Structure 1
Amino acid sequence: MDGEEIAVTECYRSHAPLVRGYLRHFIPKQDVEDVLQVVFGEVWRSRRRYDPSRSLEGWVLGIARNRAIDYLRARHPATVPLDGVPEPSDHVDPARRLDDLDQVRRALRHLPEVQREAITLAYYGDLTQREIAERLDVPLGTVKARTARALHKLSTVLEAA
């Protein structure tokens, strides 16, 4: 694998959960993975157009937004109105949003692995606590306890930041 392939693979690994969550707001659940693959196919094809001085997350979400619009245009117009597809940053300052996301990512590093896994599956994987319990093969109460402890620890770490 060359450096570009490694970079795009790392981009997918770190941004696919965010893009998947974004697409779930507009695309039917059964089609999200297909559109996600189209998005990262375009990331690969357009990799030389990326300006490293700008936000990678914003660039990828911009591609995701465009592919979501393409998907919605190809469907029956009454399914989801296109004006319902907000800009990725919507009403929040993009620089502030990226700073907040960076703080959350750093705060996640302070959690024990089992708590980080529960939070990641819940917020980035968009899974319910029951689905997390099934995926991890642990009791539902364990997932609830891990999530509660993780959220408490995250709030403490983020307040101190």
Structure 2
Amino acid sequence: MDGDDEELSACYRAHAPAVRSYLRRFVPAQDVEDMLQIVFADVWRSRERYDPARSQAAWVFAIAHRRAVDHLRARRPPTVPLEEAGDLARRGRSVPDELGDRDQIDRALAELPDAQREAIELAYFADLTQREIAHRLRVPIGTVKARISRGLHRLSALLSGTA
């Protein structure tokens, strides 16, 4: 990219939808469009460093990845002041409430396809890594990741009542 506005427009048209989807995986939904604009502003500012012999998509995604990481690092995780932690523990949920949640989760898990439920149970209840699950189930690690991801999305929908 040699600084031509048309080249930047073409780059945006070609890569913005995929970059937007990529950012959705890391950045809160309300920040995705802002991050997309930041990414392409960086593309414009660093256009002299782009090597046309290399993949433009890879270069744009590298910038997007760095901006997403910067954004996540800048966000402060929600914390509770230490003096309030005791109050939260004293106001904790009762045992019947927790048992009701467990029952609801068990029912939602039972509605998942067997492969997704098994992968989730191995990951969250047997505390296995994705690599260990793949070895145990004799499937590729990508399959394990997909099963867990799809299962968690479905589980979330079932628990929120939107399924």
TM-score in terms of structure 1 length: 0.46
Give the structure, 1 or 2, with the largest relative contact order (CA under 8 Å, sep 6 or more): 1
TM-score in terms of structure 2 length: 0.46
